[in-house]
Structure formats: structure tokens, C-alpha cells
């Protein structure tokens, strides 16, 4: 038996096109293939319920909106919210956000940064609702996409959502920090959870020239993989945008340094918080402030990351320059 008819299909199509126009007006979806994916993939099938916006709320403030609500007004709010350019909390446990559907315009930016071409294979870390995997599958084909999540409840619901929308990529329950060696090699890896560092297991699973796009600190790093064997290396800059995601579970995330007594204008500055988090454990926050002011409040895209062998470090302007800091160390096996 096929999937039952979607009662929201017509209204959702109009909402979806409106979302695409909004992302395009903001400078996104310049690649026609990704624009076609966003026009085709029905986001509402991946968020049959959600808890309002994913960020800046406490568990008591989450409002559950549901596609089968008896109140037509609330159903309409659910559908409009499903196509709003905002992140949506999809799984909350004991007040902790476990999974979300990311902001569509940010997803578009990350997918574009992967620089995929026809025939590429992709690994997604953090299955979430399954929506991002569906976009990848629309662009590359089901057989070319693998998505991994640690929580079996999340992978099961993602698998159901994907099937309802007509997609069947590989959905694997496992630790994303270990990648998915049975489906390797990959031409690109995209993570939808914040990393403390680049997992060592990823690079051996990448083809030469592969692209890695992942949240790190409060930004998005875009790495290019080069070399073979022990000479395998990945390097690249952060994108200019900010990015806040659920942390990768199963690994240790270094605690940000404590700014202490500093002017509120500094503590509340997004770029300064990025620097403090990026250099946590390596640079005292007051030293970070001195650097930040000396370099005239550097944007994220002046920073980068290098992964070489067992070592990885973040840097400002030049990977071999004077400003470099080791990234967080992964938990031992």
C-alpha cells in the first residue's frame, strides 16, 4: 500500500514556494539543483509536530503544535510554522533539546558549501527529522546518501518521515563521531550538530578532495580533504555566518571560558563569544579579548581549522601563523 493522501499538500505547496522565494531573496539557493530540492521536498511531512522555535526557550515555554490537532486554527499555525524560515524543536526530553529541524536558509547555505557534483556520495551526521537527508537524496539520489544518529527513536522517526515523502536513503543508528565506515568512502560529510573538534574517524572515510561542512564553536567550518594514508589532511575557513546547533552527543564538548568582569557590550558580542568558545581551554578569555581588540573584531571567515594526523588546530588568517590554538580532544574509545 502507498502512503495515504496528504490533506495539506495543496496548501503546503504554496507555503513551500513562499519559503523558497524568501531564501532566494536573501541571497540563497543560487544553485538551481538545490532550489529544485527545496521546492520539491515537503518539510511539513518531517515535522508532524514540533515545539515552537528551537532556541531561546525553556521546557515550560515550548508549545506543541500538531498536524492532527482538532482545532483548525492550530493546524493552520502548525503548517505555517513548518514553512517558516526558523529552526523547530522536534524532540525535547526533561527540558533538554535533543533534536531539531534546522533553519531552512541555514541548511541551504550549508548544502551549497558542500559543493557537490552529480555522482557524489554524502554522509550526514545527525539525522534529526530526516528533512536534510531528503534534500540530499533529491539532489544526489537515495543510494548516494547515508544519515547517522545516535538515538534509535530519532532514526526510526526520520526513516518514517523519509518514506512518507518518497525517499529511502540509508538511515543508520550509531555514533556520528565514528562516521559510517561500512558505507565509505564519502565525497562530502555534513554535520547538523555542534562539534568540539573534527572526529578522527571521518578523514579516513573521505575520498581525496572531499568536502566537510560542520558547526564548530558558534560557526560553520568548511574543510577540503587532501592527501592519502598518514598524509591525509583537511583544512579550510569558517563561513561568515553564525550557527547554533544541538551538540554532538557521545563526545566531550569543552566548556567555554568564563569572561568574568568585562563590559556587557563585549560579553554579548556574537563574534567575541565565537572566539572565546573556539579557543576554550587554550586561551584565557581576557587574552582572547586582547587579541579580538588588537585584530579589530575579526569576522568568522578570517578563522580556519587544520586537521593533520593526530593534530588539529584553529587559527586566525594563516594555519602556520602566530595565532593558533589546539582544538578540543575527543574522548578515548
CATH number at residue 188: 3.40.50.150
Residue 333 inside a domain? The answer is: no
Q: Given this model, what pLDDT does residue 139 score?
A: 98
Q: Which three cell numbers stand for residue 302?
A: 578570517
- Is residue 152 in a domain? yes
DSSP annotation of 193 reads S
Residues 174 and 101 occupy one common structural domain: yes
Q: Is the pLDDT of residue 333 over 50?
A: no
Query: Does the residue 252 lie in any domain?
Result: no
Q: pLDDT band for position 178 (50/70/90)?
A: very high
| Assigned domain for 332 exists | no
254 in a structural domain: no
229 and 88 in one domain? yes
Whether 4 is in a domain gets the answer no
Same domain, 18 and 163: yes
Element (H, E) at 265: helix 264-267
Considering the domain architecture, whether residues 66 and 98 belong to the same structural domain is answered as yes
Q: Rounded to a whole number, what is the distance in angstroms from the first to the last CA of the chain?
A: 44
Q: What is the pLDDT of residue 55?
A: 43
Type and span of the H or E element at 225: strand 219-226
Mean pLDDT of 83-96: 85
β-strands 122-125, 96-101 pairing: unpaired
Domain containing 293 equals 264-326
- Region of poorest pLDDT, from 61-65, 203-207, 224-228: 61-65
Co-location of 31 and 180 in the same domain: yes
Active-site hit among 99, 100, 101, 102:
102
Task: Give the count of beta carbons closer than 10 Å to the beta carbon of residue 272.
Answer: 20
Q: Is the same domain home to 87 and 236?
A: yes
Lowest mean pLDDT among 118-122, 262-266, 318-322: 262-266
Least Cα distance to 84 among 69, 106, 68 occurs for 106
- Among 11, 47, 83, 50, which residue's Cα sits nearest to residue 161? 47
- In the chain, the percentage of residues whose pLDDT exceeds 90 is 76
Task: Identify the pLDDT of residue 260.
Answer: 56
| Element containing residue 34 per DSSP (H, E) | helix 32-40
Instruction: State yes or no: pLDDT of 258 exceeds 80.
Output: no
Give the model's confidence band at 309: pLDDT under 50 very low, under 70 low, under 90 confident, else very high: confident
Average pLDDT, the chain: 89
Over residues 274-294, the pLDDT tens digits come to: 999 999 888 888 899 999 999
- Does residue 329 surpass a pLDDT of 50? no
Residues 163 and 286 in one domain: no
Q: Catalytic residue at 290?
A: no
Q: Are residues 38 and 103 in the same domain?
A: yes
Instruction: Evaluate whether residue 331 is within a structural domain.
Output: no
pTM here is 0.91
Give residue-wise pLDDT tens across range 32-83: 999 999 999 999 999 999 986 444 444 455 678 999 999 999 999 999 999 9
Total of domains in the chain: 2
Other C-beta atoms closer than 10 Å to the C-beta of 312 total 21
The pLDDT score that the predictor gives to residue 3 is: 65
Say how far apart CA 287 and CA 273 lie, in whole Å: 13
Would residue 97 count as lying in a domain?
Answer: yes
Amino acid at each position: 500500500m502507498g502512503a495515504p493522501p496528504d490533506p495539506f499538500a495543496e496548501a503546503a505547496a504554496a507555503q513551500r514556494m513562499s519559503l523558497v522565494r524568501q531564501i532566494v531573496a536573501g541571497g540563497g539557493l543560487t544553485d538551481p539543483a538545490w532550489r529544485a530540492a527545496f521546492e520539491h521536498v515537503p518539510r511539513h511531512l518531517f515535522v508532524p509536530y514540533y515545539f515552537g522555535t528551537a532556541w531561546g526557550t525553556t521546557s515550560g515555554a515550548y508549545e506543541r503544535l500538531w498536524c492532527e490537532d482538532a482545532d483548525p486554527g492550530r493546524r493552520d499555525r502548525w503548517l505555517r510554522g513548518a514553512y517558516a524560515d526558523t529552526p523547530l524543536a522536534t524532540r525535547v526530553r526533561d527540558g533538554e533539546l535533543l533534536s531539531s529541524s534546522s533553519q531552512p536558509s541555514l541548511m541551504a547555505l550549508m548544502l551549497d558549501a558542500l559543493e557537490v557534483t552529480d555522482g557524489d556520495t554524502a554522509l550526514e551526521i545527525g539525522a534529526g527529522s530526516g528533512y536534510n537527508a531528503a534534500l540530499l537524496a533529491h539532489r544526489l539520489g537515495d543510494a548516494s546518501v547515508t544519515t547517522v544518529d545516535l538515538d534509535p527513536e530519532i532514526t526510526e522517526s526520520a526513516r518514517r518521515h523519509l518514506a512518507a515523502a518518497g525517499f529511502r536513503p540509508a538511515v543508520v543508528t550509531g555514533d556520528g563521531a565514528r562516521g559510517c565506515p561500512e558505507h565509505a568512502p564519502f565525497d562530502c560529510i555534513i554535520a547538523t550538530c555542534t562539534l568540539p573538534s573534527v572526529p578522527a574517524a571521518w578523514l579516513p572515510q573521505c575520498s581525496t578532495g572531499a568536502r566537510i561542512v560542520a558547526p564548530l564553536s558558534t560557526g560553520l567550518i568548511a574543510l577540503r580533504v587532501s592527501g592519502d594514508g598518514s598524509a591525509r589532511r583537511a583544512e579550510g575557513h569558517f563561513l561568515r555566518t553564525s550557527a547554533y546547533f544541538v551538540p554532538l552527543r557521545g563526545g566531550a564538548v569543552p566548556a567555554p571560558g568564563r569572561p568574568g568582569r568585562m563590559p556587557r557590550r563585549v560579553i554579548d558580542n556574537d563574534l567575541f563569544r565565537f572566539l572565546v568558545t573556539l579557543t576554550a581551554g587554550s586561551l584565557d578569555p581576557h587574552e582572547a579579548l586582547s587579541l579580538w581588540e588588537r585584530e579589530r573584531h575579526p569576522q568568522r571567515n578570517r578563522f580556519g581549522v587544520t586537521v593533520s594526523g593526530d593534530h588539529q588546530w584553529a587559527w586566525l588568517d594563516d594555519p602556520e601563523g602566530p595565532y593558533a590554538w589546539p582544538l578540543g580532544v575527543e574522548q578515548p574509545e
